[in-house]
Structure 1
Amino acid sequence: MPNRRKLPTVHAGSMADIAFLLLIFFLVTTTIAKDKGIARKLPKKCPPGQVCSLPIQERNVLRLFLNDTGELLVNDEIIPVSQLKEKLIEFIDNNGDGSCHYCNGLGSLHYSENPKKAVISLSTDRLAAYSEFIRVQDEITKAYLDLREKYVLDLLKKTVAELSESELEEVKTAYPFLISEAEIN
């Protein structure tokens, strides 16, 4: 009589349960990184029956164009991105109409009338590098931050950290962030 031993068997039914529990465990304990992007507040939608577009004088618009090779044109003049912040500050803080009591600009006829009317128009080529687009956006943001910080220090005699909500709104009203973005095919 041949010796027939029973071969051990593995119960695979519980393996599926263990794999499922491990999957649930990793899904629950894993942190998902937040997407990074540019913090911008979109304009409100124009109510029906109202005209929401106002005519803007050409001197109040600074036109920026980022082409596919990464060159930055500011009013049809090529400049390095590193010089953009200073150009923006000159344009925004110009006080061309003399109505801005806190502006430090020269009052040039080629730049904006005052910060409340200054619009930055940014156009980018579809093939422009995203990293260059971000660099331009960063320079725009830095220019507005510098102008706002100077306003806080000079007029309010405080630091930015000490501002109340109403003072923060005053600073934002003094130097509103007006930007128009477009993509060129």
Structure 2
Amino acid sequence: MTATAIPAGYRQDAQRRLVHESLIKPIDQARDKLVLEIVEKAQRLNAQLAEFKGSAFGDVAAFVELSAEEYGVKLGGKKGNVSLLSFDGRYMIKKAVQESVQFDERLQAARALIDECLLEWTEGARPEVVTLVNDAFRTDTKGEIRTARVLALRRLEIVDERWQRAMKAIGEACQVVGSKDYIRVYERVGDTDQFKAISLDIAGA
């Protein structure tokens, strides 16, 4: 919305109309007050999380460089996954790199080869294989192929030469188009070897 000068004693509603405060119902005023209070808190938390993320990435990167220098090694370029454990083993920090993967046009060649196999195997094909293939190439709600399910086909032990060529085409069609870094914080569960994430997501807190 464009900032508008609002006369004293008036409020602007969602349709950008000026409404005198005396005409605003108490329940509407209470709702507005609640929403603005929560939004203000959320904005403060958002700023704190952004500051935490920046400092955490910087601190981890600096420590990795410091550790490398202990061995006379100078690191350069984009760093990969890193896990740091507290001295008592209770806490763990993980810096993870998640790559974004897409398939190029070679995926269509792979699908054609797979379809050839399925057509010929119709009589004796294992139903679970047909289901896996059809599910792998089914698009998600955004109309995109689910890469993990397509790549999972490569784990099937099928010796047919066309299937093997299809799996090779899938591998070559897979292209890394970007990556995103994450910082995750974990706490050990009691005396076990399991760690539980300390959630930084409001939905999982």
| TM bin (shorter chain) | under 0.3
Greater share of residues in helix = 2
* TM-score calculated relative to the size of structure 2: 0.20
**Structure with higher strand content:** 2
